[in-house]
Amino acid sequence: LAKTTQPISMDSYEGQEVNITCSHNNIATNDYITWYQQFPSQGPRFIIQGYKTKVTNEVASLFIPADRKSSTLSLPRVSLSDTAVYYCLVGDRSNYGQNFVFGPGTRLSVLP
């Protein structure tokens, strides 16, 4: 069962770049990494997904090193509205079949 670790919380200021790292030492060959953002009382919102190297979309970048044992979500120029909990999700297989394992989440606080 893949286990992921993330920092519990991070603080940043508006306009700064924020990097959140997720460790997933037991990632399997076919697993992929997905990051989500969640606001209170809402469902998680898809941010970005990747398998290896670097992926970029209009809101974030995802860096995955060659060994794929970690991944880093990069949020450029954060604003107050980026204050949320960020989760990394790694595909995993268990005895019951594919079991998506969420990380514990990183609570990002963006300060003015």
| 18 CB neighbour count, 10 Å cutoff | 20
Q: How far apart are the C-alpha atoms of 69 and 33, rounded to whole Å?
A: 10
Residue 32 touches other proteins, criterion: CB under 8 A: yes
Residue 81 touches other proteins, criterion: CB under 8 A: no
The one among 9, 79, 99, 109 contacting other proteins by CB under 8 A: 99
Q: How far is the CB of 27 from other proteins (least distance, A)?
A: 13
Residue 13 touches other proteins, criterion: CB under 8 A: no
Q: How far is the CB of 11 from other proteins (least distance, A)?
A: 21
The one among 18, 20, 24, 34 contacting other proteins by CB under 8 A: 34
Which two structure tokens, joined as six digits, stand for 59?
Answer: 């809101």
- Residue ranges that bind other proteins, judged by CB under 8 A: 32, 34, 36, 41-46, 49, 87, 89, 91, 94, 96-102, 104-105
